[in-house]
A = this chain, B = another copy of it.
């Protein structure tokens, strides 16, 4: 029941729901001495914020974050960093009609099965909006990673049937921030946008794939046998709402390969050990090997659609048909990128502290 925290040394606890009073996070275990301002967090939140373009929800939250504790004279002081965002533009009216009628693909029914009750307004805590807590935690984690020049980026590689062509690692960030779908392939990006708008027009939605890459991750991160780096990254990514698959390196492609074709061989580069290929995605035996971490996650189509769907009225115990009104993203991929980076950053920050590569008391 205490599943709202993650991490061992860098521990983030989040709270809040879509239409409640506020959302936020408490970050415990951030070493003292780290420069941290409100804007470090706000900048990340702005990337995730709704309302930025025609392919995201029209809900108009400004999402201004307030830091309540943990900062002293502009730096962290080793005590918990609490940060909060007040909900402003919540409109629960659209949800009254479906309050006993679980929406297909959403947690309405399963949360009710577990807790006996469900805050149906805007998806409650099951809403994508609850990921502002992830982003707050990720923003602080990214500041820690920056101490070691570690950088986490992400981009959309597929929307529906449209797949992006591979782009060199060094260009992904630049290219993917130039379009609203966050795709690094300039040819595919407008097609993806079009496909999303088309789905939206039909009252439907689309799934996709997001790739996350972490650069400059030192070798040696990961705790076999149950706290392996890839295992904890998989948990972090799969735990984001709408994610139904995670792969590292070549992932599912490896299933149809031979070892002779895909084993990453070692060589020396200026005295440093590198691999000629990176099919492993930077993690072998559950521990990072110094190469870039490469992960991908499968994102299902946003389940909230305005087309009619069949469900059951839990109170009347009868089968019914619903149409979901409210404001929704016709494809969650563009906005989920920031969330994915955030959870990856949190896992890496945690492991850097667990290995002592960052001093856990003060930086």
Contacts and interface: CB of A to CB of B under 8 A. Distances in A.
Contact of A111 (B4, B287, B319): B287
A82 B285 CA distance: 22
A310 B266 contact: yes
A287 B4 contact: no
Interface in A258-282: 258-260, 262-268, 271, 273, 275-276, 280-281
A226 B238 CA distance: 9
A160 interface: yes
A81 B304 CA distance: 27
B244 A235 contact: no
B9 A2 contact: yes
Interface stretch (A49-57, A124-132, A146-154, A171-179): A124-132
A114 B355 contact: yes
Contacts of A209: 252, 255
Interface residues of A, number: 159
Contacts of A1: 9-10, 28-31, 78, 223, 353-355, 360-361
A130 B80 CA distance: 12
A241 interface: yes
Contacts of A310: 265-267, 276
Interface string A214-242: 00000111111111101111111111010
B267 A319 contact: yes
A303 B259 contact: yes
Contacts of A275: 104
A115 B125 CA distance: 35
